[in-house]
Amino acid sequence: MNTNTATERVKHEVLAEDPHLRRGPRGFPLLPGGYGRSTYFTGEPSPYAVRGVGFRVWDDRGRELIDANNNFTSLIHGNAHPEITEAAIKALSAGASWGIPNLWEWELAELLLKRVPSLDQVRFTNSGTEAVMSALRIARAATGRDKIVVTRGGYHGTSDVALVPGGPSYTKGVPQGVIDDVTAVPLNDIEFLTQAVTAAPEAYAAIILDLLPNRAGLISISEDFVRAARELATKHGIVLIIDETISLRLGYGGLSGEYGVEPDLLTTGKLIGGGFPVGAVAGRGELMAEVDPTRAGNLPHGGTFSGNPVSMAAGAAAVRLYTDGQVKRLNRLGDAVRTAVSDRVADSGWEIRGRGSLLRAVPAGAEKVSEELQHRLWWATYERGLLGSPANLLSLSTEMDENVGADIADRLADAVNSVAAGDDRA
């Protein structure tokens, strides 16, 4: 079937009935609230994607949008990149998944370890959330300890431990025992971190860091803080986990590579799957031995689709395409967009935070932005043909150039100034 014809058919069917209103036999919406992910929610019924190509996406309301959401930073090469698509189709044509190892796992593992040469082995999962869960379990098994240090506002997925740094609004349903095992320290507060660890160093299995936490307003963890965490971990036999599920895009060896700090375990996902479900734990050999099935007393680790050939093949293509030159070019483009927007929204009392190819508009000096204000800005950018995340995080893709960057800056600056002035409520 012609792709455009198929797209028009799907679009017509979606438009014929608001998907949020589709209900099952007992009257409930088929999806809770009408959403397949809570992170889609923008305060009102959301548009539905119909098609995406390069840096553009089209929705069921007939809008053509610049895609700066990129599935929450995953699509580093934009939508439907031909080389990634070809790799995925080739793998799928040979079999979507099997119950024995596949050769694509080796290829992606080799590509990742070339970027983080201080680490020795990789184990794949289905998501960044699972990667963090696995890394924490490895750390606990290796140390025989339970407690974890996190930074407030850090985001490490949706497992029980990972929800704790989000604060009370995120810990509903999390057992108190889990909460008690997690020490959340203020961002970049080295003194607090040092006091927390040295008060009971024998209790801590791991320190886990999100180097550019969007939940905390997209403020970078400082190099001094990361180095202090590394020194404390080394001194007290604690496992340092650096979560680069998002920040891997910011350097050829991730943001930790830019800092020159070597983690004991590194977790990642998103861009390394080429748009397919993926996560990974890379680590030092003596730690990764905990999940070695040939070793007595190993930790069982499974996942029906972990390391599946389609994700591995697409991911390998994506990683190969994201060369050191592309990393640097995309970071320069992000810096240019951030500067351009900052100059135009400063008088409205807003600032543009971030690093490299990641940026976010927030009221100047804000430590926390209300969901209501985030949603207002989301709709303001959407109305101007720019798609970001519901928390207003924008991520650039390699399909974008200086002209697209300038276009993004224009649309974002106009949306921010409109929200600041209250014009979006009119």
Render each residue's pLDDT in the chain as its tens digit; 426 residues.
344 554 555 444 544 567 777 887 776 788 888 888 888 899 998 999 999 999 999 999 999 999 999 999 999 999 999 999 999 999 999 999 999 999 999 999 999 999 999 999 999 999 999 999 999 999 999 999 999 999 998 899 999 999 998 888 899 999 999 999 999 999 999 999 999 999 999 999 999 999 998 887 888 899 999 999 999 999 999 999 999 999 999 999 999 999 999 999 999 999 999 999 999 999 999 999 999 999 999 999 999 999 999 999 999 999 999 999 999 999 999 999 999 999 999 999 999 999 999 999 999 999 889 999 999 999 999 999 999 999 999 999 999 999 999 999 999 999 999 999 998 876
The rounded distance, in Å, linking the Cα atoms of 395 and 68 is 5
The rounded distance, in Å, linking the Cα atoms of 164 and 74 is 24
Measured CA to CA in angstroms, residue 352 lies from 38, 275, 348, 364, 408 at distances of 25, 27, 12, 8, 13
The rounded distance, in Å, linking the Cα atoms of 399 and 82 is 12
Which sequence positions are flagged as catalytic? 155, 243, 270
Per CATH, which fold does 95-322 belong to? Aspartate Aminotransferase; domain 2 (3.40.640)
CA neighbor of 354 nearest in space, from 169, 227, 219? 219
pTM score, two decimals? 0.93
The rounded distance, in Å, linking the Cα atoms of 109 and 249 is 17
Q: Where are the domains of the chain?
A: 32-79+324-421, 95-322
Which two structure tokens, joined as six digits, stand for 235?
A: 């001194």
- Which CATH number applies to 32-79+324-421? 3.90.1150.10
**Taking a C-beta distance cutoff of 8 angstroms, is the pair 308, 316 a contact?**
no
